[in-house]
Amino acid sequence: MERIETDVVVIGAGAAGLTAATELKAAGKRVVVLEARDRVGGRLWNGDFDGHLLEIGGQWVSPDQDALIETLAELGLETYSRYREGENVYIAEDGERRLFEGEIFPVPAKTEGEILGLIEKLDALVAEIDPEAPWAHPRAKELDEISFAEWLGTQTDDEEAKLNIGMFIAGAMLTKPTHAFSALQALLMAASAGSFSHLVDADFILDQRVVGGLQQVPLRLAERLGDDVVKLEQPVRTIRWSPEDPAAGVTVVTDSLEVAAERVILALAPILYSRISYDPPLPRRQHQLHQHLSMGFVIKVHAVYETPFWREQGLSGTAFSPYELCHEAYDNTNHGDTRGTLVGFVSDEEADGVFSLSAEERQAKILESLSHYYGEQAKNPVLYYESDWGSEEWTRGAYAASFDMGGLARYGADLREPVGPISFACSDMAGKGYQHVDGAIRMGRLAAANILQG
Binding site per annotation, positions for substrate: 345
Q: 37 or 162, CB closer to ligand FDA?
A: 37
The number of CA neighbours under 13 Å toward the Cβ of 434 is 27
Q: Does 271 bind ligand FDA (CB under 6 A)?
A: no
218 or 249: CB nearest ligand FDA: 218
DSSP 51: T
Regarding 194 and contact with ligand FDA (CB under 6 A), the answer is: no
Residues between 160 and 189 that touch ligand FDA (CB under 6 A): none
From candidates 10, 20, 32, 57, binder to ligand FDA by CB under 6 A: 57
Per the CB < 8 A criterion, the answer to whether 108 and 98 are in contact is: no
CB of 299 to ligand FDA, least distance (A): 8
Rounded Cα–Cα distance for residues 407 and 264 (Å):
26
Asked if 58 touches ligand FDA (CB under 6 A), the answer is yes
Q: Which of 9, 25, 32, 35 binds ligand FDA (CB under 6 A)?
A: 35
Give yes or no for a contact between 427 and 439, defined as CB atoms under 8 angstroms apart: yes
- Contact between 348 and ligand FDA by CB under 6 A: the answer reads no
According to the binding rule CB under 6 A, does residue 134 interact with ligand FDA?
no
Of 289, 253, 257, the C-alpha closest to 271 is 289
**Nearer residue to ligand FDA within complex by CB, 122 or 276:** 276
Q: Detail the DSSP E strand segments found in 178-292.
A: 208-210, 230-231, 238-241, 250-253, 257-261, 263-266, 277-279
Which listed residue (6, 10, 14, 67) binds ligand FDA by CB under 6 A?
14
> Which H or E run includes 184?
helix 183-192
CA dist 434 and 173 (Å) reads 10
What is the phi/psi pair of residue 355, to 5°?
Answer: -75, -10
Which run of H or of E encompasses 107? none
The shares of helix, strand and coil residues in the chain, as percent rounded to the nearest 5, are 40, 20, 35
Question: Looking at 398, 409, 415, 447, which residue binds ligand FDA (CB under 6 A)?
Answer: 398
Q: Rounded to whole angstroms, how far apart are CA atoms 319 and 92?
A: 12
The reply on whether position 426 binds ligand FDA by CB under 6 A is yes
Q: Applying CB under 6 A, does 9 fall inside the site for ligand FDA?
A: no
Residue 425: CB partners within 8 Å, gap ≥ 6? 16, 17, 20, 265, 266, 267, 440, 443, 444, 446, 447
Q: Does 305 bind ligand FDA (CB under 6 A)?
A: no
389 binds ligand FDA (CB under 6 A): yes
Q: Which stretch binds ligand FDA (CB under 6 A): 182-190, 267-275, 329-337, 356-364?
A: 267-275
Q: What is the largest CA-CA distance in the chain?
A: 70
Tell me which stretch binds ligand FDA (CB under 6 A): 78-86, 151-159, 266-274, 329-337: 266-274
Nearer to ligand FDA, 157 or 349 (CB): 349
Cα–Cα distance for residue pair 254/261, rounded to 1 Å: 14
Min dist. Cβ of residue 11 to ligand FDA (A): 5
Q: How far is the CB of 334 from ligand FDA (least distance, A)?
A: 14
302 sits near ligand FDA (criterion: CB under 6 A) = no
Q: Which of 21, 31, 44, 408 binds ligand FDA (CB under 6 A)?
A: 44
Footprint of ligand FDA (CB under 6 A): 11-17, 34-37, 42-44, 57-60, 235-236, 267-269, 272, 275-276, 300, 387, 389, 394-395, 398-400, 426-427, 435-438, 440
